[in-house]
Amino acid sequence: MKLAVATRNPGKLREIESIFRDTPIRLVSLAELGVEAKPEEEKLEGYPSFARNALAKAQYFHDRTGLAMMAEDSGIRVDALGGEPGPRSKRYAPPEMQAGYGVDRANNLHLLRQLRDVPDDQRTAHFYCAVAVVLEDESRVFGGRVDGVILQEPQGEGGFGYDPLFYLPDRGCTSAELTVEEKNQISHRGRAMRAARDWLLEVLNRETRAVRDE
C-alpha cells in the first residue's frame, strides 16, 4: 500500500517513517510526489480543532494527488493560558518574530513571555495530535495526547517545535532530550500515528481476505 504523507516538515516525516517501518505500507512525501506548495495550503489549518484541520489537509492533498493520504495537526495547550495556543501553535508568535528568529524559536520565546509571571506549579500543559487518513471510499481521524509541564527555559537539542520546553515528569527530561524511538513510544503524535497505522493494517488485511475469497 502506498500512503502519501501531507507534511513538509522533515522532522515530523522522520518520526512517522520510524512508526511505519517494517510494515507493508510505503510512505511517500509531498516532495517525492513533486507536489508544489500553494498559498491556499495556509488556509487549511483555519479550524478551531485539531481533528478538523487534519481532515481538511488530508482531503485537500488526496484530491490533488488521487492517493491515499495521511495528515496530522498537532500542538500544545497550556492550562494557564486557557488552552492556548492550541491549533494556532504553529503560528503562535507574531509574524515579525517568526521572520526574525525562525518559527520554532519565535514560538518558544513567545510562549515563555506569556508565562513569565506563572509559577512552576501552574505551568501544566499537554500536547495533542489528530491524525486523519483519507482513502478512496472512507476516512478516519485518530487522536493522541501526552501531559507535561512548561519549563522556564529550553532544555535539550533534539525534536522540534515546543519540545525543548515540554518537560515530562515521568521521564525526568524534556521531549527534546528523548531519542526518536523513545519519543514515538510516548508522544502524542506517536500514539495517534500508531492508531492510524493499526487501522490501515486492518484495512489491508480486509482487502487481502476479499481477494482470496473471490
All three cell numbers of 132:
486523519
Q: Is the CB of residue 180 less than 8 Å from the CB of residue 161?
A: no
User: Is residue 208 very low, low, confident or very high in pLDDT (cuts 50, 70, 90)?
Assistant: low
For the question of whether the overall pTM of this predicted structure is more than 0.85, the answer is yes
Helix, strand or coil, per DSSP, at residue 137: coil
CB atoms within 10 A of CB 124: 15
pLDDT digits (tens, 9 = 90+) for 133-171: 999 999 999 999 999 999 999 999 988 899 999 999 999
The residues, any chain, with a CB within 8 Å of residue 16's CB and separated by 6 or more, are 5, 7, 27, 70, 189, 193
pLDDT at residue 120 tops 70: yes
Q: CATH topology for 2-213?
A: Maf protein (3.90.950)
Helices (H), 115-187: 180-186
The pLDDT of residue 9: 79
Hey, which residues are catalytic here?
A: 73
Cβ-based burial of 58 (10 A; exposed 0-12, middle 13-18, buried ≥19): buried
Q: What ranges do the domains of the chain cover?
A: 2-213
pLDDT digits (tens, 9 = 90+) for 41-88: 888 888 999 999 999 999 999 999 999 999 999 999 999 999 999 999
